[in-house]
Amino acid sequence: MLNRRLLLWLFLMSLFSSYVSGSQEITTDESKSIQDIAQIVERSIRAEAENGFARRGAHAKAHGCVKAQFRVLPLPDELSLGIFSEAREYPAWIRFSNGAEKVQDDSVGDGRGMAIKLMHVDRSPSGTQDFVMLNHPVFFVRNAADYVEFQKALAIDNPVKFFFPDINPLHFRLHELGIVMAIRSKKVNNPLDAQYWSATPYRFSDSAMKFSTRPCNRTAPALSTDTSSANYLRQNMQAHLDREEACFDFMVQLRKRAAEMPVEDPTIEWSEKDSPFITVAKITIPAQRFNTPEQLKFCEDLTFSPWHAIPEHEPLGGINRVRKVVYEISSRIRHELNRASERESSGF
Ligand code: HEM
């Protein structure tokens, strides 16, 4: 009984401490942590590539890349900013993936990714605006230093050590463990039938936002749900797009209350009561055949990054600062090893 109370108290304390951070705060040892993470990711890509092909340092398994249209809706003034300042259409690529750094059977519990790349975006250095998301509203690591601890635990094949680093209950990461368990237990039969979230925040001009995509025809029965093969997510996605188009609402959630909607801790969900998600664009994925060797190769060679962005939507917070360095290295190394050119190929 005492133990249960103690655990509950620790859990509440860890939640409370999460609410303290307000605006962007860069700790002095953050850049050292980022360099450590970049080295670990590079080493792991090089080691995996000995099997013949260099894959992404995370989200290695693609279900496929599909052509899409991203249509910004006419919006009221407070939402009419950055990419959303003009009601117009962008051609887009969308890559759906599994979260693991290894290619594995789709039946293994894992996060699922959706990465959108808007093409022909003039004011972004990459020429594109990317929106990178997971099928869960929060990420399971708070900051760069914790991500190093997570990688150290993985390196000794003992991820549990990240959640229970020693016998002192004050060091337990129960909040993070709860998030990992929630992510791993989510059941997705078709990547086109899931909701996805940015989890980390981004600039919304002078304010901040998180974003999310939700299938628009949620009430319709899923078209294909067979989960018997190792690659059922790709197969069900193709079966869907063989028959008809798919669509998503693209939504933003504005940061209304600084203390309760932290920028530096992506393990904290921004309450939809305080600020609901608002639809600002519609995504249409036309019926198409993407499951071909040429299209899958094209998909491998693309690079998505939260930092492919116009200044009004620059990524915010420590985890996004980690991603700035790590995605760049991951993409450079895998392209070098595969002797592929690193370019934002349009294909439109
Ligand atoms: C410290 C935290 C993180 C690290 C170190 C990390 C690392 C990486 C790396 C190395 C890649 C491959 C990049 C490439 O080679 O092109 C990647 C891809 C990806 N990450 Fe992260 N990531 C982090 C946080 C996140 C978060 C918070 C999200 C989502 C909310 C996310 C979602 C994705 C997705 C969807 C992809 C696949 C993009 C694509 O389809 O190419 N990651 N990540």
Domains and CATH numbers, the chain: 2-338 (2.40.180.10)
Whether the CB of 41 sits within 6 Å of ligand 1: yes
Given a cut of 70, whether residue 12 has pLDDT beyond it is no
**Regarding predicted confidence, which is higher, 343 or 11?**
343
> Ligand 1: which residue has its CA nearest to atom 35?
113
The per-residue pLDDT for range 101-121, each reduced to its tens digit, is: 999 999 999 999 999 999 999
Q: Mean pLDDT check: name the lowest of 174-188, 223-237, 274-288.
A: 223-237
Are the beta carbons of 265 and 14 closer than 8 angstroms?
Answer: no
Are the beta carbons of 251 and 277 closer than 8 angstroms?
Answer: yes
What average pLDDT does this structure show over 30-34? Answer: 94
Whether the CB of 37 sits within 6 Å of ligand 1: yes
The pLDDT score that the predictor gives to residue 306 is: 98
> Ligand 1: which residue has its CA nearest to atom 22?
323
Residue 227 C-alpha to ligand 1 middle, in angstroms? 25
What average pLDDT does this structure show over 128-133? Answer: 98
Q: How far apart are CA 138 and CA 132, in angstroms?
A: 13
Residue tagged 């020429």 (tokens) = 127
Q: How far apart are the first and last CA of the chain?
A: 63
Helix boundaries (H) for the chain: 2-18, 30-49, 144-155, 160-163, 174-185, 232-243, 293-301, 318-338
Whether the CB of 148 sits within 6 Å of ligand 1: no
Given a cut of 50, whether residue 2 has pLDDT beyond it is no
Structure tokens at 257: 């209350």
The pLDDT score that the predictor gives to residue 159 is: 93
Whether the CB of 309 sits within 6 Å of ligand 1: no
Residue 305 C-alpha to ligand 1 middle, in angstroms? 8
Whether the CB of 326 sits within 6 Å of ligand 1: yes
The pLDDT score that the predictor gives to residue 263 is: 97
pTM for the whole structure: 0.92
Percent of the chain with pLDDT over 90: 84
Given a cut of 70, whether residue 10 has pLDDT beyond it is no
**Site to substitute for ligand 1 among 56, 320, 336, most atoms within 8 A of C-beta:** 56
Residue 224 — pLDDT band, cuts 50, 70, 90? confident
